[in-house]
């Protein structure tokens, strides 16, 4: 695949795991399981293509508040598995992981694994996989405004950006949402100001590298004007 432009940072709203499982008369947790496998493939593929940042929406603030306990426990188990086993392969390939969101209410062992996952990452890497966990764009903005107010800095866009979870990441160039819904559901609200948006009905566990490439091809055709002519 030869593209005229490649996004530096892709945000991925991994939606449709539950419906994928339901179609197969399986518990929702197995849909999340299949979703994690898809995500691992997409991270590998993104790195190979030369994309520098992939941010995956894993659990929203609303998901943590509103999903049944057993489904949340299934998601925590997947995080346990990813951050104790799979993350090592990522490091070996010279990539790092980052977590954004408020992980303080998560089970203590999961929280520790996430913190270690970041800490043990290589210091420099050409690929960063960021997990948005108990993440909400509105909560992030409120948190940043509070921090900025507390230190008495002048309020401006640049200063506020520094207090976002994503301070060290470039803004996403492309945001992909699988699963057919056409909304952001509180994902990267501040950072998405000039992101190109791509929506597909494909349920996340079926979102293959080929499907991802279709989104990249569409991105390459977009005319990004940033308010210019
Ligand atoms: C996305 O899949 C993953 C999470 C929100 C944790 P869903 O679980 O929302 O799947 P659907 O939308 O019910 O199919
Ligand atoms: C968005 O999906 C959150 C994640 C993919 C983690 P949801 O399934 O929670 O979004 P809504 O409820 O359909 O807006
Ligand atoms: Mg959903």
pLDDT at res. 87? 97
* Residues sharing a CB contact under 8 Å with residue 72, sequence separation 6 or more, in sequence order: 59, 63, 64
Residue 153 Cα to ligand 2 middle (Å): 34
Beta-carbon neighbours within 5 Å of ion ligand 3: 15
Q: Which of 56, 57, 181 to mutate to test the pocket of ligand 2 (most atoms within 8 A of CB)?
A: 181
Residue nearest to atom 8 of ligand 1 (CA): 18
pLDDT at res. 146? 96
- 66-105 pLDDT, tens digit per residue, is 999 999 999 999 999 999 999 999 999 999 999 999 999 9
Residue 32 Cα to ligand 1 middle (Å): 8
pLDDT at res. 189? 98
């Amino acid at each position: 695949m030869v593209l005229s432009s490649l996004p530096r940072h892709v945000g991925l709203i991994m939606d449709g795991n539950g419906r994928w499982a339901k179609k197969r008369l399986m518990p929702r947790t197995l849909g999340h399981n299949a979703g994690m496998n898809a995500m691992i493939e997409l991270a590998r593929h993104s790195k190979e293509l030369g994309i520098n940042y992939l941010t995956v929406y894993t659990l929203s603030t609303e998901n943590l508040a509103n999903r049944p306990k057993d489904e949340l426990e299934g998601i925590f188990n997947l995080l346990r598995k990813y951050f104790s086993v799979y993350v090592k392969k990522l490091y070996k390939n010279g990539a790092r992981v980052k977590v954004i969101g408020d992980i303080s209410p998560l089970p203590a062992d999961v929280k520790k694994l996430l913190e270690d996952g970041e800490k043990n990452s290589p210091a420099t890497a050409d690929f960063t996989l960021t997990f948005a966990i108990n993440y909400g764009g509105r909560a992030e903005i409120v948190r940043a405004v509070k921090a900025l107010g507390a230190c008495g800095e002048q309020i401006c866009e640049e200063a506020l950006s520094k207090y976002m979870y994503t301070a060290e990441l470039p803004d996403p160039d492309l945001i992909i949402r699988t699963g057919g819904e056409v909304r952001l559901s509180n994902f990267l609200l501040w950072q998405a100001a000039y992101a190109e948006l791509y929506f597909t009905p494909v349920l996340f566990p079926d979102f293959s590298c080929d499907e991802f490439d279709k989104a990249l091809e569409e991105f390459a055709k977009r005319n990004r004007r940033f308010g210019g002519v």
